[in-house]
Amino acid sequence: MLGFRILLVGVLSLAIGVADLKLDWLDSLKESMSVLLVPVQWSVQLPGRIGDFGESITESRSSLLEKNASLENRLRILQVKALKTASLTAEVNRLRALLNASAFVDESVLVAEIIGINPDPYMHEVMINKGSNDGVFEGQPLLDSMGLMGQVTAVTPYSARVLLIADSAHAIPIEVNRNGSRGILVGTGVLDRLELVNIPDTTDIKVGDMLVSSGLGGRFPKGYPVARVESVTHDPGLPFAQIYARPLAELNRSKHVLLVFKRPGEDRALPNIVEQQTEPAS
């Protein structure tokens, strides 16, 4: 029985093959069958296509993550470079301002760099990178591009310690640039506040007045800008006015400073600096 079936299938296959070669009417049947088989073929190929699509998605996501990480790293590098460039630009601007200030100083000057600060919160001292080998001496005035910063208090061959004008132990004779009234300006221990002490209540001092070194005592040459008056309080019950001023020098920001060498036998004012920065506020 099985042999008969095999023989029958073989005869039918041979007959269909001969008919396909000799007759055209089977072409339309083959086309119809091929259309019907398309869904079957697509279904058979579907698992493979899904796998390929999943692999492409995985590869694309991995590639995007790598590119994103690379771009983020480049962005960080560029940000650091931009910050460095901004820092260098600011440094150049500060040095240019210091150079411009030195051009107005009558005395000889030496540029120094602040290399350290006193960690004691109750003392306002800095260390500079110039010492006795550079001619630095105790009591030498120090200023930045804006005004007087302080004076040298101790010297070593390669460095020096400077007491800032804001220190409570520092005092400097000053005069009001507008009318010549004199007084003593002392530090309060706060970097942005100085006090003008023992000024009679009737003295003509106004908010905005420029205070410059008077030259009395011989420690500081006459005419250095020191501070600007911020507040004046008159108490009828007290003989002296309460006067506070803000230092002109950037005591907590300046990095490069000028050491001033007073010329022997000279005590000249610095009118150019005063005129440039001392117009009283209205």
- Tens digit of pLDDT for each residue in 180-203? 899 999 999 999 999 999 999 888
pLDDT per residue of the chain (282 residues) written in tens, 0 to 9: 666 667 766 666 666 666 656 655 556 666 666 666 667 666 766 676 676 666 666 667 777 878 877 777 777 666 666 655 655 565 566 656 666 655 555 567 888 999 999 988 889 999 999 999 999 999 999 988 888 999 999 999 999 999 999 999 999 999 999 888 999 999 999 999 999 999 998 889 999 999 999 888 888 888 888 999 999 998 888 889 999 999 999 898 888 888 888 644 444 433 333 333 334 443
Q: How much is the pTM? A: 0.59
d(CA 144, CA 257): 5
Q: How many CB atoms lie within 10 A of CB 280?
A: 15
Tokens of 35: 């259309």
* Count of residues in the chain: 282
Cα separation, 180 vs 16, whole angstroms: 128
Question: Please, which residues have CB within 8 angstroms of residue 131's CB and are 6 or more apart in sequence?
Answer: 155, 156, 157, 158, 159, 160
Among candidate residues 135, 140, 171, the one with its CA nearest the CA of residue 153: 140
The phi, psi pair for 134, rounded to 5°, reads -100, 5
Identify whether the C-beta of residue 189 lies closer than 8 Å to the C-beta of residue 167. yes
Give the model's pLDDT for residue 59: 60
Measured between alpha carbons, how far is 165 from 254 in angstroms, rounded to an integer? Answer: 14
Q: What is residue 96's predicted lDDT score, i.e. its pLDDT?
A: 62
116-126 pLDDT per residue, tens: 999 888 899 99
Q: Which of 198, 274, 180, 273 is nearest to 243 (CA)?
A: 198
CA nearest neighbour of 239 among 201, 265, 191: 201
Q: Which residues contact 255 (CB under 8 A, 6 or more apart)?
A: 91, 94, 113, 114
Write down the pLDDT at residue 278. Answer: 37
| Superfamily of structural domain 105-277 | Rod shape-determining protein MreC, domain 1 (2.40.10.340)
Query: How far is the C-alpha of 256 from the C-alpha of 5, rounded, in Å?
Result: 109
Instruction: Please report the pLDDT score of residue 270 as a whole number.
Output: 37
Q: Is 206 left (phi over 0), alpha (psi -120 to 50) or beta?
A: beta
